[in-house]
Chains A and B, each alone.
Chain A
Amino acid sequence: MKIKVISRSLDDHLSSSSSAQHPLQRNLAPHLHPFSKPREYTRAVTAAKMDRMFAKPFVDALGGHQDGVYVLGKDPRRAAVVAGGGGDGEVIVHSLALRRPLLKIPNAHKGMVGGICWTSEARDGKRGMVTCGKLDGTIKVWRSEAFAPGLKDKEVFEGNEFGSGSREASNSFLDTAGAIGESGMEFDEEEGGGLSIDAAKRDALGQNLEPTMTYTSKNGFNSIDHHRTDAVFATASNTVQIWDENRSAPLSTLAFGSSMETVTGVRFNQSETSVLASVGNDRTMCLYDIRTGKAERRIMMQFRSNCLSWCPTLPTVLLLGSEDHNLYTFDIRKLESPNQIYKGHVGGVMGCDWSPTGEEFVSGSYDRTVRLWNRESGKSRDVYHTKRMQRVFDVTYTPTADFVLSASDDGNVRIWKSDASKKLGPVSTKERQAIEYRKKLVERFSKEKGVREVHERRHVPGSIHNAVKLKRDMIESRKVKDDRRRAHSRAGKEKPKAERKKAVLKEHK
């Protein structure tokens, strides 16, 4: 007779010292883990709730503009420098890390600023800012040490630490602060800290700053975009014009046929760098190639598009923000219908921008909200609004994809987190693992009602809530009417048209 019984030694199961970890024994057999699915589900609900609890997307508002901000120009090669162009012709270069202006140019243009972009030099010190005026018909190139360290503005910086200080040390902080001598962390409080030590000096610099180059035209410019690598930029007026930085007259003028309708936006492709697209007042979107110097394709849509943006990772994908409250992505090889319609706004979409990964994008609308989207889903992932934010006219993702910026009518550039509940600052491994686990849980149960309701619910202002309801009712009644019409007409006569097929009216080749 042999008898085997359980006999556990304390040595194996008690921690060896008071500070040591309690020894764990695992057995993954399912019968020892009852209710695994309900428990996981409960955890997912908690995770969804925590996600909403920590969702504080608003970071800061960058003020200083006298009028509304209508255009944003981010420096695509630096994480934290963005310029805002106002309705009164003022351009302010903001540092996101310092959350204050680096430079204010009060009278950059007479009347509204049409567009801002940055030149393509690889070195930060040599880069300039290009702005165009909507009314005065000028394009100006600005270069200053205030936002592009490496130049010398002697009259301003003489004698202070930037002019004579160690260049290497200051350069090392470029990425964080975007300006010289500032790490964003080490303020010299006695001197007032960083560049704003001398708000007066900065203002004086901005007042006296002269553009290094000015181009003029009869027409005002609605939009401007710089070539990714070459010293070439494109502007939008009643035609699309291509300019060389070193020549005062445009290199070429592009238009589809003899169209002279106003072009409102123009953007270069990021990968296929000589291709550009424009949107215009005549409800068209047009593709050009600067190698052939011709307009290649054009589509006419049901409504006007206000903004456009090329996907940085998928060269053929183009995003349009339309006056009909929707956004559309197109594959430019197949323009007869959009790839995806993004519905959610209740006002015309005024600005849109892709995240650097091309998986997500942000849009700003006339309905005073900013929405964030996944490329593959037609419903917005998040919606941002505040009481004081007015009509949003431009939005942009920062190059690190951590933040989105919105420029609105109320004269502020707002910084939002691109992931509302993401923790800023260092995250320990344990914490990161917990966050990833929670994220996965929510994803896994995201179709389940209890999780979905928490995860997808967004509070929006009453006006937008009502507008959403009204819009839903209108669309529904229109559809009901269609149904009835179809029911009382000959079978097969009035076939329903797919929503995607409705957007594009005509394609011109």
Chain B
Amino acid sequence: MDALLASAGPISSSKSKQWSRKPPVSSHQTVPRGQGKAPIDPSTHSILTTTRIPSAFHQSTLPSGSGATPIRPDPSIARINDKKLKAKLSRQDVGNKRAKQEREDVNEWLNKAVSGGNGGIEVDTEEGERTWRVRQNDIVQEVGVSVRGKKFDLKMEDMGTYKVDYTRNGRHIAIASSKGHIATFDWQAGKLHSEIQLRESVRDIKFLHSEAFYAVAQKKYVFIYDQDGVELHKLKLHIDPTHMEFLPYHYLLTTVGHAGYLKYHDTSTGVMLTQIPTHLGSPHSMAQNPHSAIIHLGHANGTMTLWSPNMTAPHVKLLAHRGPVNGIAVDPSEGSAGRYVATSGMDGTVKIWDGRMWGKEVRGWKVRNQITTLGYSGTGMLSVGGKSGVTIYRDLQQNTHHTPTPYLTLPMPSLTASSTRFCPFDDVLCVGHERGISSLLVPGAGEANFDSAEADVFETYSRRREREVRGVLEKIRPELITLDTDFLGHVNEGRGGETFVEREARSFRQLGRLERLRATGKADEPDQEGLEDDAEGAEGDADANAGEGVSRKEKEKRKMKGRNGSTKRYLRKKAKKNIVDNTLLAMQAKVAAQKKAEDTRKKIQSGEIVKETGALARFG
């Protein structure tokens, strides 16, 4: 489109210009038409010369987005000498940036415009209205008829406490009571798929890749049922299961039982992938990170551990609470993308953690009632379920110093929420408790714009079939589950399975390309010796602010002197071995040059040498 507009030529600004017969300047090959006539530019035939582009489409007037500023490749690419490589990389870089910008444009102009932001409750705080005072009945009164039906209660007396689970598109729900009552249904159409009474204790229920299969953690084993409630599989290897998670892109059913063994079972092939002993006893809670497929377990001693099937030790082990960790939830929303994790403990606190830095929680606060379960919604709302009700928070990443004000409170007198789940792509929270389940309205909780290629809320039979086939074809190998989801496609510098001696014994021709470039000093990478940079920086600073004595002294203090410099340590080690190689020589030369420069500087300072300032100084 841009090219087409550009080829239409500049737009005449005034009327007089329109009448003057001046041939437009064009870079295209033109066909001359004789005296006094403008030559024909064949490339512009598709657009009439009288066509005017609406000013809103002018690239300069776009407030943001693809036309606002010309996209330039990263300046670091300019350093590359190879012309073809440079052209290729800058093309890729520009393409990536443009794609990102266009995505942002779509989000800004299409998604937000259609859905009107995230929705939610707006109150007039000056009149004393508060969102957390809004009751379900008030909401039901305000919303339209089609939404009213989404608030409902299923009352099941004396069935025990209920666990709930939604499918990924939020269309179907599975409920399981601790006394063995199981049901799955399409809650929007009100269509029951299956209902069974197992007559034994049930601890968890999870949908597999679609509503057609679900797994139930029963008294002894895990069982898999189909849509009609027919038992398909008895997974005998999962003994005494307490919690389950299903990783939809990896087709892995993950369970953990009283014995504390974390087990990964491939549901597409039926093969048990791995069993990892946690050595921390029966876990109290379990959650998956939907963006990295890392399993989070909460333990009785207050630790939270992060697991993948590729390691027998946890990736992260974290003392989160004083007392058992009984609720974990990972924020899947746009701002977090699996980075923020909420935990709750028996000690009555809720804590938010940042996955990039586990050292200290982002925020934590005390909750008065006893917490039992946590849940995150698609827009990042946190539901804290406990005795006598559920509290919902939003905007937890802002203003982290205070105890957050609840967004909504959903009181449930004399009931304890045993499981809370936000419905994906809808403003609904489902709470399982001792008297059945309650589906409650939480305005602004759901991601409004779903992607039907990923999870289609209105999925038809044929599209589900298509998705299942494609899903199995694109099943991600479990080896690719890592904490850092971006590692794939990056350069692995180390050579596996090589000892230090072997590495050192390699001759120049056996080195890899990067190593060769390093050895010859041609590698294009940021300087490894940060300390030396510091030293140079300090010198520069010293020249700049010679007047400020105190700050300069402090900076000089930081400078490495004597035997402690990392470069010197390296040189000492190398020199001891009596091996002379290119790196060593280069390093020695560098150190010598630095020393010389330092000496000269000192001499100039002390007045031993008078710095030449004449025209010939540069030759000194």
Contacts and interface: CB of A to CB of B under 8 A. Distances in A.
Contacts of A6: 115, 119, 147, 425-427, 446, 448
Contacts of A1: 121-124, 129, 134, 138, 142
A457 interface: no
Interface string B453-489: 1110110101100000000011111001000011011
Interface residues of A, number: 39
Interface stretch (B197-205, B229-237, B330-338, B519-527): B330-338
A24 B249 contact: no
Given A1-B121, A31-B337, A38 B142 contact: no
A220 to B, nearest CB: 45
A479 B507 CA distance: 10
Interface in A7-49: 7-10, 13-15, 22-35, 37-39, 41-43, 46
Contacts of B146: 7, 9
A483 interface: yes
Contact of A25 (B293, B451, B488): B451
Contact of B474 (A37, A39, A479): A39
B139 interface: yes
Nearest to A37: B488
A43 B122 contact: no
Contacts of B453: 24, 26
Given A2-B122, A3-B443, A29 B507 contact: no
B452 A25 contact: yes
Contacts of A35: 249, 291, 293, 476, 485
Contacts of A479: 509
A200 interface: no
Nearest to B249: A35
B511 interface: no
Chain B interface size band reads 35 or more
Nearest to B334: A31
B155 interface: no
Interface string B117-128: 101111110000
Interface stretch (B103-111, B158-166, B360-368, B540-548): B103-111
A261 to B, nearest CB: 36
B119 A4 contact: yes
B449 interface: yes
A153 interface: no
Interface in B335-376: 336-338
A57 B333 CA distance: 49
A22 B460 contact: yes
Given A4-B120, A5-B441, A24-B452, A34 B290 contact: yes
A130 B507 CA distance: 55
A496 B516 CA distance: 14
Contacts, number: 140
A448 interface: yes
Contacts of B111: 27, 29
Contacts of B457: 8, 13
Contact of A31 (B291, B426, B480): B291
Contacts of B338: 34
A235 B117 CA distance: 79
B144 interface: yes
B475 A42 contact: yes
A479 B111 CA distance: 63
A445 interface: yes
Nearest to A482: B509
A6 B442 CA distance: 10
Contacts of B144: 7
A3 B485 contact: no
Interface in B244-292: 249, 290-292
A9 B507 CA distance: 70
29 contacts: A1-B123, A1-B142, A2-B121, A3-B139, A3-B142, A4-B122, A5-B139, A6-B119, A7-B146, A15-B460, A22-B452, A23-B452, A24-B453, A25-B452, A27-B449, A27-B451, A29-B103, A29-B111, A29-B334, A31-B334, A31-B337, A32-B450, A32-B451, A34-B338, A35-B291, A35-B293, A38-B249, A479-B509, A483-B507
Task: Please give me the 9 A-B residue pairs with the lowest Cβ-Cβ distance, nearest first.
Answer: A4-B119, A13-B458, A27-B449, A27-B451, A2-B122, A3-B142, A38-B476, A38-B480, A5-B427
Interface of A: 1-10, 13-15, 22-35, 37-39, 41-43, 46, 445, 448, 479, 483, 496
Given A34-B292, A496-B509, 17 more contacts: A2-B122, A5-B444, A22-B463, A25-B451, A26-B453, A29-B107, A30-B103, A31-B332, A32-B447, A32-B455, A34-B338, A35-B249, A41-B489, A42-B477, A43-B473, A46-B474, A448-B489
